[in-house]
Chains A and B, each alone.
Chain A
Amino acid sequence: MSRATLLTLQILVAVVCIAFWHVFAKYPICGLSWLGFEKDCATLLPPFFFSTPGDVASRVVKWFVEGTIWKHLWITLVEAILAFVIGSLGGVLIGFWFARKPTINAIFDPYVKMINALPRVVLAPIFALWFGLGIASKVALGVTLVFFIVFFNVYQGVKEVSPTVLANARMLGMTERQLMRHVYWPSALSWMFSSLHTSVGFAVVGAVVGEYLGSAAGLGYIIQQAEGVFDVAGVFAGMFVLAVFVIVIDMAVTAIEKRLLVWRPVAATDAR
């Protein structure tokens, strides 16, 4: 399939969905009494619950025209980036450390698994209590998500170095430090980058969920505020902005990935 056809079909999906939404929200359909509707004529998607594409679009436009959205986008972006950077750094360092020191790994293994199994939403109130309602608590939530993804991938990357490549490196005369730099490190990084989409996504999730549960700014805050007053158009508009925001970030990640993983065969980069 050519690129143009693919793009056309992708756009077509959105157009059809929005058209259905528009029609069912705007125009009442008669003869519904047998379905259990009170009145004989009603809209299938009542605007109170589902809003309309037009309302949502005009809300999004209004946010951007008035400029109120930028502040929220910025806050969410900062939170996500901080969560990603801190979580990744911690994950790389500790993942490396655990992989190279089996004793340490054996001791901490059950605790790592316990903490990772914990649903992070329950941590949000505690973080809000510890770090306040500002940026810090959202970053902390994002870090707990990103850290484990990076940690497990780096750990795996160090462990799964091909024994032949390792033996070859030794036979070529590499010292322990050189093995780290030329063998373990690139291998661990390649695993980390292969999970880049997941970890960046989780950084955003951490930020938005944190905002949703208690904050004064950010995309999660907008959605939560709109929900509080049954402003469905506001909720959908917030979700739309969030979705576009995530797609833009994902495209940036893909671009970075392409540059950093040139050495990888194409099939392997599609693993995740």
Chain B
Amino acid sequence: MAAATSAAAAAGATAVSLADVSVTFRLADGGAYTAVERATLDVADGEFVAIVGPTGCGKSTLLNVAAGLIGPSHGTATCFGKGLTGLNRLSGYLFQAEALFPWKTALENVAIGLEIAGTPKTDARARAEKWLTRVGLSGFGDRYPHMLSGGQRKRVGLTQVLIRDPKILLMDEPFGPLDAQTRQIMGNLLLDLWSADRKAVLFVTHDLEEAIALSDRVVIMSAGPAARIIGNWTVPLSRPRDIGEVKLDPAFHRLHREIWEALKDEVMKGYQQTGGG
């Protein structure tokens, strides 16, 4: 069950390390709900890791532990060797739900991360403008989030996170609500931006194809409650990739079939185990 160290992990420092992490929530009725059980996962600096699992399996919980939004009930979370107490200041988090400030324009939304850190306003705005141009949103800076499409909002969200230059990028099904074409465009955009300075990425999704197409390594979780990490595959596809083309690669299909079989089996096993208890 221990995370296999990938080639990238052996080469560089460990960006995020979750060691034997369990998360238990207390319920209102006095009971307890274990979302994640004994998960161990290392993400190397510069490595793109995708976590895949059925909906509601605790993938996001694991991500929130890495972000420091939730403290683990058992085990430890470390970031570049330092134990996490409180929020993970080195990480940037892209949420699944709408997270932009609706009362700020796109430009203000992107610039805010710098402004609160003390960057002068004109400087922050100029850099935000550059970032918006980079994701194809030049000229949209003065629009409010509700005037943008879902894909455009996601792009603003992505730049809002990236402009702060986090060491680790945490993404919680970021492209979940988008349509298939937009997802593909966003995926390519993400790979484009990522390849420029190769941050460590922890990417949660329930879409196996998306996971394989984007990442260096795919981690599979069982169904909750008490979800565990049940598999770990290195993706043998070369970079740079185009998401549309990489899906035609025979290696992609082999890996997809292999993982899907395990995912199917393990998910069923997971259901039986938890169903009995």
> A190's closest neighbor in chain B, by CB?
B103
Among the interface residues A171, A174, A182, A183, which one has the most CB atoms of the partner chain B within 10 A? A171
B112 within 8 A of A: yes
Q: How far is the CB of B170 from chain A (nearest CB, A)?
A: 8
B92 within 8 A of A: yes
Chain B 86-112 per-residue mask, 1 if CB under 8 angstroms from chain A, else 0: 010101110101111111110000001
Q: Do residues B91 and A171 form an inter-chain contact, with CB atoms below 8 A?
A: yes
Are B102 and A263 in contact, CB atoms less than 8 angstroms apart? yes
Interface pair B116/A265, CB less than 8 Å apart: no
Task: Report how far A262 CA is from B103 CA in the complex, Å.
Answer: 8
Which of the residues B87, B97, B104 comes within 8 Å of A171, measured between beta carbons? B87
How many angstroms from the CA of A164 to the CA of B101 in the assembled complex?
10
Known: A164-B97, A164-B98, A167-B95. A172 touches B112 (CB 8 A): yes
> Are B113's CB and A173's CB within 8 A?
yes
The residues of A with any CB-CB pair to B shorter than 8 Å are 162, 164-165, 167-175, 178, 182-183, 186-187, 190, 262-265
Q: In the assembled complex, which residues on chain A have CB atoms less than 8 Å from the CB atom of B215?
A: none
- Nearest chain A CB to B101 CB, angstrom units: 6
Residues of B within 8 A of A170 (CB): 69, 87
User: How far is A26 from B201 in the complex, measured between Cα atoms in Å?
Assistant: 84
Kindly report which residue of chain B lies nearest to residue A181, judged by CB atoms.
Answer: B116
A165 & B87 in contact (Cβ 8 Å cutoff): no
**Contacts A172-B112, A173-B113 known; 18 new A-B pairs at CB < 8 A:** A162-B97, A164-B97, A165-B101, A167-B69, A169-B101, A171-B67, A172-B116, A173-B117, A175-B116, A178-B116, A182-B104, A182-B112, A187-B103, A263-B102, A263-B105, A263-B144, A264-B144, A264-B146
Taken together as a complex, chains A and B put the C-alpha atoms of A182 and B116 apart, in Å, by 10
Please tell me which one of the listed residues A164, A167, A173 contacts residue B116 in the complex, with CB atoms under 8 A apart: A173
B138-150 vs A, CB cutoff 8 Å, 1 = contact: the mask equals 0000001110000
Residues of A contacting B205 in the complex (Cβ-Cβ under 8 angstroms): none
In the bound complex, residues from chain B placing their C-beta under 8 Å from that of A262 are 144
* In the bound complex, CA of A170 to CA of B104 (Å): 16
Closest residue on chain A to residue B157 by CB atoms: A168
18 pairs, A vs B, C-beta closer than 8 Å: A162-B97, A165-B100, A165-B101, A168-B95, A168-B100, A170-B69, A171-B67, A171-B87, A172-B160, A172-B164, A173-B89, A174-B116, A178-B116, A182-B116, A187-B103, A263-B104, A263-B105, A263-B144
The interface residues of chain B lying within 8 Å CB-to-CB of A164 are 95, 97-99
Determine the distance from Cα of A165 to Cα of B160 in the docked complex, in whole angstroms. Answer: 13
* A264 pairs with B102, CB closer than 8 A: yes
Bound CA span A167–B112, Å: 14
Task: Kindly report which residue of chain B lies nearest to residue A261, judged by CB atoms.
Answer: B103
Report how far A164 CA is from B105 CA in the complex, Å.
18
* Interchain CB contact under 8 A, A162 and B98: yes
| A67 to B77 CA separation, bound complex (whole angstroms) | 77
List chain A residues, Cβ under 8 A from B103.
186-187, 190, 263
Q: Are A171 and B102 in contact, with the CB atoms below 8 A?
A: no
Q: Name the B residues within 8 Å of A264 (CB-CB).
A: 102, 144, 146
Given A182-B112, A263-B144, do A171 and B93 touch, yes or no (CB 8 Å)? Answer: yes
Query: Nearest CB to that of A172 among chain B residues?
Result: B113
> Given A173-B117, A174-B116, A182-B116, are A165 and B89 neighbors across the interface (CB < 8 Å)?
no
Once bound together, how far apart are the Cα atoms of A164 and B117, in whole Å? 20
- The answer to whether A168 and B116 touch across the interface, beta carbons within 8 angstroms, is no
Q: How far is the CB of B108 from chain A (nearest CB, A)?
A: 9
Set of chain A residues within 8 Å of B95, measured between Cβ atoms: 164, 167-168
Cross-chain contact A168 with B99 (CB below 8 angstroms)? yes
